[in-house]
Amino acid sequence: MQKIGVIGGGTMGAGIAEVCIRAGSDVVIVEAKPEFADAAYERVSKSLSRAAARNKITADEADAALTNLRVTVDYDQLADRELVIEAAPEILELKQEIFARLDAAVGPDAILATNTSSIPVIKVAAATKHPERVVGVHFFNPVPVMPLVEIISTLTTATATADAVAAYVKDTLGKNPVRAGDRSGFIVNALLIPYLCQAIRMLDSGYASAEDIDTAMKGGCGYPMGPLTLIDTIGLDITLAAADSLYDEFAEPHLAPPPLLRRMVDAGYLGKKSGRGFYSYEK
Tell me if 46 is assigned to some domain.
Answer: yes
| Model pLDDT for residues 211-243, shown as the tens digit of each residue | 999 999 999 999 999 999 999 999 999 999 999
Q: Are residues 177 and 199 in the same domain?
A: no
Full residue range of the structural domain in which residue 208 is found? 189-266
Would you say residue 283 has pLDDT above 70?
A: no
Q: Is residue 79 within 8 Å of residue 73, measured between CB atoms?
A: no
| Model pLDDT for residues 163-177, shown as the tens digit of each residue | 999 999 999 999 999
Would you say residue 209 has pLDDT above 80?
A: yes
| Model pLDDT for residues 1-34, shown as the tens digit of each residue | 999 999 999 999 999 999 999 999 999 999 999 9
Q: Are residues 158 and 228 in the same domain?
A: no
pTM here?
0.91
Q: Are residues 139 and 8 in the same domain?
A: yes
Burial of 280 (0-12, 13-18, 19+ CB in 10 A): exposed
Q: Are residues 148 and 217 in the same domain?
A: no
Q: What is the pLDDT of residue 118?
A: 87
Buried b (16+ CB within 10 A) or exposed e, 16-54: bbbbbbbbebbbbbbbeeeebbebbbebbbebbeebbee
Tell me if 174 is assigned to some domain.
Answer: yes
Q: Are residues 260 and 205 in the same domain?
A: yes
CATH, residue 103: 3.40.50.720
Q: Are residues 168 and 193 in the same domain?
A: no
| Model pLDDT for residues 121-130, shown as the tens digit of each residue | 999 999 999 9
Q: How would DSSP label each residue in 18-69?
A: HHHHHTT-EEEEE-SSHHHHHHHHHHHHHHHHHHHHTTSS-HHHHHHHHTTE
Q: Are residues 99 and 212 in the same domain?
A: no
Tell me if 157 is assigned to some domain.
Answer: yes
Would you say residue 99 has pLDDT above 90?
A: yes
Tell me if 274 is assigned to some domain.
Answer: no
Q: How large a percentage of the chain has pLDDT more than 70?
A: 100
Which positions are annotated as active-site residues?
A: 117, 138, 150, 189
Tell me if 158 is assigned to some domain.
Answer: yes
Domain count of the chain? 2
Tell me if 272 is assigned to some domain.
Answer: no
Would you say residue 160 has pLDDT above 70?
A: yes
Q: Are residues 213 and 144 in the same domain?
A: no
Tell me if 197 is assigned to some domain.
Answer: yes
Q: What is the pLDDT of residue 282?
A: 79
